[in-house]
Amino acid sequence: MFSPSAKILYMSAKEDLAWQLVAKSTFIRDNLPPYLRIPSIHVGKAYMDFAGNSSEIQALASVAGAGRGTDATLIVRDELRDHPEGKANFLAVSPAIDAGGQLIDLSTYTKYDLENHFSERVAQFLTESTRIDYKSGIVLFEKQRTIGDKIRKSCLVFLGWNIRPVREQGLTNDEWFQLQVVPRYSESDREQEYPLTIEEMLRQPKTRQFFDIDALNEIELLGRPAPLSKVDDIDTRNGIIKIWVKPIVGRRYICFTDPSNGIEDPFATVVIDWQTGEQVAGAGAKITAKDVAVIHDSLVRYYNNAFNTGETNAQAGGAFIDAIKDLNTPNLAPRRSPDGKIIPGKIGWYTTEPLKDRMLNDYREGIRKRLVIIHDKEALNQHRMFVQPEGEIKPRSVHGTHDDWIMAFAGAYYLKRLFVPQDAYRITSVKYRG
């Protein structure tokens, strides 16, 4: 109405569902005060044509090629979880967005469908984004990219079921929930259909979750709210390194790194207290393997020459291990075989499937027994998104998320179990005199 030559596309899984969006817009238009209505409007069940300013709204089924070649200024895809060709359609409409248009995806989140296009889109926002929690209950995740002098922003907005102020006249939201929802839905179904928080929305069913969700929730309660705001005795590299607890003289620490090449997955470095299992520091970002090695080395030295190693898988792992050799990183752990035996003359862990399985299963047991304290919120989210679907042998991250923090913690925990300081135990013998 107020933007000349605007072209809006409403998309839904089926054409008749997209028509319902047009009907909603028609309802809004018909209930505006007369002075706001644009004259000479043509309305059909699949379109609205604002003849006065050459703008239009069109409804389409969200098939693979729908919207391709369009000059749309706004595209709204409703209940995206139900679009069978949602991903292919995303590629079709992307040129319109790249040219300055806007895309709004609306949907209920389906936690049981790990490969759903909407679930993938949500998962992409759980890393490398800024989270803002509003008092209203709205949660905003925001990303910003700067290319030249242009700024591109994108965001994920979560709305809990109680954002709507009234569900039934004469009842508060809580009263309505207890009366209408609790008797009809199981706890897991309520989390699916009526999530109150984004954590409830993302939480996988306990039967599919690799890590004990109750243990993770308790571990989160033990966590520190934020890393130290000022640390003068180590270069935090503009926040890439996060310090929760400074090193204590005489205390022993474990450091493990899951490296990256700076292009695809981010790296993760974890430092834990050998005695308590508490995370004292961490680092993660998309940087080169050589830069990862510098961060790893600095954390090892900062934490009293922590016992340490990292993955040597693939090109990134090899470059990382070569770099920490060149840095003469102290107290490097020897390489281990899947059964835990030392491989002489080798450093860096080559995490084949047998060793990875052993690390993950040992670490899962450590989580269950609350032997680890995790402070990093992104790391906790990764743990919650790590699942083992029915019929699959290997656990994995929900599609679109990473497991770098999980592997770093699993490596640190496994290294902690293998490491026994030479002065940890002292045996003293005395002559008994009866």
Model pLDDT, residue 185: 83
What is the rounded distance in angstroms from the CA atom of residue 106 to the CA atom of residue 77? 6
399 Cβ contact list (under 8 Å, min separation 6): 114, 115, 119, 120, 123
Host domain of residue 372 = 213-418
The average confidence (pLDDT) of the chain is 87
- Quick one: which H or E segment has residue 104? strand 102-105
Judge if 175 and 308 occupy the same domain: no
Judge if 265 and 343 occupy the same domain: yes
200, part of any domain: no
CATH number for the domain spanning 309: value is: 3.30.420.240
202, part of any domain: no
1, part of any domain: no
Judge if 400 and 287 occupy the same domain: yes
| Dihedral (Cα; 155, 160, 161, 162), 10-degree rounding | -120
What is the rounded distance in angstroms from the CA atom of residue 387 to the CA atom of residue 382? 10
Residue, of 88 and 368, whose pLDDT is higher: 368
87 closest CA partner among 60, 57, 66: 66
| pTM for the model | 0.66
Strand order in the sheet with 267-273: 241-243, 279-285, 267-273, 253-258, 307-310
The gap between the terminal CA atoms of the chain, to the nearest Å, is: 102
pLDDT of 294 above 50? yes
Helix (H, G, I), strand (E, B) or coil at 213: helix
Judge if 292 and 345 occupy the same domain: yes
Q: Residue 40: pLDDT band by 50, 70, 90 thresholds?
A: low
What letters, b where the CB count within 10 A reaches 16 and e where it falls short, cover 283-306?
bbbebbbbbbbbbbbbbbbbbbeb
On the CB side of 253, how many CA atoms lie within 13 Å of its CA? 28
Model pLDDT, residue 5: 87
Domain total in the chain: 3
Name the one residue in this structure whose structure tokens are 């989270």.
131
